[in-house]
Amino acid sequence: MERKSVLTIQTPRKKHSVCLATGQNLRDVLHQLGLHGLSFPCGGNGICGKCIVHVDDAGSCPPTEADAALLTYDSLEAGYRLGCTLKIPANTTLTITLHWLEEASNIITAFPGTIKADLFYEQEYGCAVDIGTTTIAIYLVYRSTGEIIGTTSLMNNQRKYGDDVISRIQYSDEHEEGLSRLHTMLASQIQAMIMTLLAEHGIEPERVSEVIAVGNPTIIHFLLRKNPSSIARSPFTPQFTEPVTTNATLLDLEHAELYVPGIVSAFIGSDITAGIHAFSLTDETEPTLYIDIGTNGEIVLWDGKRLYGCSSAAGPAFEGVGIHFGMAGSEGAIDRVWLDEDGMILCSTIGGGRAKGICGSAIIDCVALMVEIGLVDETGALKNDHDLALRYLMDTDQGKALRLTEDIYFTARDVREVQLAKAAIATGIDVLLAEANLSVKDLSNVMIAGGFGSHISTRHAQMIGLLPLVPVEAIRLLGNAAGKGAIILLNTKNGKELVEDVRRGIRYIELSSLKEFQTQFVEHLFF
């Protein structure tokens, strides 16, 4: 007879009790219950330490190797464990507490109510879908006028299998139904979001004539159920690069067409080309840099005549992954850090409530503050003997760290993670400028795309070496450029052709193949 265990999961809002077979992984149990708020940034590989839970009977769940590597002895004794490696023991009654669940944040950029339209689409509706690794944003557009009549955004449910695309590719490769599962999860979520938008505005699905979907290459592969494994291994080639036009039946829109623009390379997708088109990068008369800062920092340079592009593996530090108290830009995240007139560290949080962690914009603020007041040297090492160390640093189980609140701090290891990320972006910029025989002083504009880029302090980003030292007024924060580009594709007859011109015109440079990359990267580690 199969032995069962009774598991009670305590969240901040309610209790969930379930009787289940023993040996199940907690991550899978949470998914079965529809509790998707506990973050597994590393895809459940037990290396990031972001999924800590509390077990009421610590003795029934002995620490795993991953627990021992990431948690202190006192934490283990108190019953804290990594949720991703926790297996439910046999024949037991157990309570597991999730201290907080991450809420989906609405990060949609508020575009004007109407965006450029050719007005050829009489009585037709369309959906522009920006599929991000972290979030999915959808815009419902009345194509007859170009009016944006509805928007929605949610955290991408695929985050269950990792915050970065490489973790998801790994899951797809290692599980027989992995590709099918990731495809179905993504398509089902987009379909549900579209149907909800349509219902809210009283629009029948058959009145939707077209869906435009943009995203990074891996996400687009999952959407179209194409195996993305070749993206993650040398020579890093996608299964396809050309645009795809098909019936939107996978989104339950049988009367609509699904159009997916082509991709440039394994790491530069249609989210970048659509954004470049939306903001008319190639109409600029002077050299202009276009940067989308994320796990992969996509960088495109227009020298006035041609486009150069690269993707720099910045890692997910700016999205909070690998940062001790890092989290997505959701409620409770510290989003700003600054010194007041008295030299006291002040913080603000999204939603104005108690701080739960630190999101990307505040991560940059923290490092910039430490550089500005001299708490780190040029190598990024904490200066524990600094005159101000006693005032700003605190002792933690991670060593000395910058005190933000009573519970939240920023560690020396966090500084290192930011160094690696900013060095990757800065090196990518240097490479493109060199290819075009230009220097930073030749740049007339720097465009920063993406939700993250909309919230950072440009001064602080320059201070730590993430952005080039151009006049602040030359830096433009674009917001969700990809989403705007997808909307324009819905509304214009020649938009697809123009985006294709952008795609074909980008001279892609693979950074990993350059001998000088490592040398330049090391140089950019310094502050």
Give the model's pLDDT for residue 375.
Answer: 93
Which residue did the predictor score with more confidence, 167 or 281? 281
459: three-class secondary structure by DSSP: helix
Give the model's pLDDT for residue 106.
Answer: 44
Give the model's pLDDT for residue 105.
Answer: 44
Give the model's pLDDT for residue 368.
Answer: 96
Q: Distance between CA 78 and CA 56 in Å, rounded? A: 9
CATH number of 4-97: 3.10.20.30
Band of residue 103 on the pLDDT scale cut at 50, 70, 90 = very low
Band of residue 68 on the pLDDT scale cut at 50, 70, 90 = confident
According to CATH, the topology of domain 125-274+483-487 is Nucleotidyltransferase; domain 5 (3.30.420)
Mean of the per-residue pLDDT values of the chain: 87
Band of residue 109 on the pLDDT scale cut at 50, 70, 90 = low
Strand partners, 357: 333
Give the model's pLDDT for residue 37.
Answer: 60
Q: Distance between CA 141 and CA 490 in Å, rounded? A: 8
Across 323-336, average pLDDT: 88
Residue 372 is which amino acid?
A: E
Give the model's pLDDT for residue 294.
Answer: 76
Please, are residues 169 and 156 in contact by the beta-carbon 8 Å criterion? no
The pTM of this model reads 0.81
Q: Distance between CA 261 and CA 269 in Å, rounded? A: 8
Q: Distance between CA 35 and CA 38 in Å, rounded? A: 7
Express each pLDDT in 204-231 by its tens digit. Answer: 999 999 999 999 999 999 999 999 999 9
Which residue did the predictor score with more confidence, 407 or 390? 407
Q: Residue 413 belongs to what H/E stretch?
A: helix 412-435
Residue with tokens 């009670």, as numbered in its chain: 8
Tell how strand 357-358 and strand 333-339 pair up: parallel
Across 253-279, average pLDDT: 96
Q: Distance between CA 49 and CA 466 in Å, rounded? A: 26
Q: Distance between CA 295 and CA 328 in Å, rounded? A: 13
Contacts of 43 (CB under 8 A, 6+ apart): 161, 162, 163, 164, 167, 168, 170, 171
Q: Distance between CA 522 and CA 14 in Å, rounded? A: 49
Residue 265: how many other CB atoms lie within 10 Å: 21
Handedness of CA 330, 168, 158, 44 (dihedral sign): negative
Residue 130: how many other CB atoms lie within 10 Å: 29
Across 132-151, average pLDDT: 91
Which residue did the predictor score with more confidence, 90 or 145? 145
Express each pLDDT in 255-267 by its tens digit. Answer: 999 999 999 999 9
Exposed / middle / buried, residue 110 (Cβ in 10 Å: 0-12, 13-18, 19+): exposed
Q: Residue 246 belongs to what H/E stretch?
A: strand 244-248
E-state strands within 412-504: 445-449, 475-479
> Residue 505: is its pLDDT beyond 60?
yes
Give the model's pLDDT for residue 22.
Answer: 63
462: three-class secondary structure by DSSP: helix
Domain span(s) for CATH 3.30.420.480 in the chain: 125-274+483-487
Band of residue 112 on the pLDDT scale cut at 50, 70, 90 = low
* Integer CA distances (angstroms), 395 to 76, 356, 388, in order: 20, 19, 14
Strand partners, 281: none
CA 28-65-412 angle, to 5 degrees, is 100
Q: What are phi and psi for residue 116, nearest 5 degrees?
A: -30, 130
Which structure tokens are listed for 72? 């202190």
281: three-class secondary structure by DSSP: helix
Across 314-338, average pLDDT: 86
> Residue 11: is its pLDDT beyond 80?
no
Give the model's pLDDT for residue 351.
Answer: 87
Query: For 75-128, what is the HEC assignment?
Result: HHHCCEEECCCCECCCCCEEEEECCCCCCCCCCCCCCCCECCCCCCCCCCEEEE
Across 7-31, average pLDDT: 73
Helices 178-200 and 165-174: crossing angle in degrees, nearest 10, is 130
Give the model's pLDDT for residue 251.
Answer: 94
Which residue did the predictor score with more confidence, 1 or 195? 195
Give the model's pLDDT for residue 115.
Answer: 75
Give the model's pLDDT for residue 264.
Answer: 97
Give the model's pLDDT for residue 1.
Answer: 43
Give me Rg for the CA atoms of the chain: 24
Across 287-294, average pLDDT: 93
Q: Distance between CA 280 and CA 274 in Å, rounded? A: 10
Domain span(s) for CATH 3.10.20.30 in the chain: 4-97
Helices 517-524 and 412-435: crossing angle in degrees, nearest 10, is 130
* Integer CA distances (angstroms), 444 to 278, 402, 507, 508, in order: 19, 36, 21, 22
Across 471-500, average pLDDT: 93
Please, are residues 244 and 178 in contact by the beta-carbon 8 Å criterion? no
The DSSP annotation for 499-524 comes to HHHHHHHEEE--GGG-TTHHHHHHHH
Give the model's pLDDT for residue 98.
Answer: 74
To the nearest 10°, report the CA torsion of 325, 449, 417, 360.
-20
> Residue 143: is its pLDDT beyond 80?
yes
Q: Distance between CA 164 and CA 264 in Å, rounded? A: 19
Give the model's pLDDT for residue 46.
Answer: 75
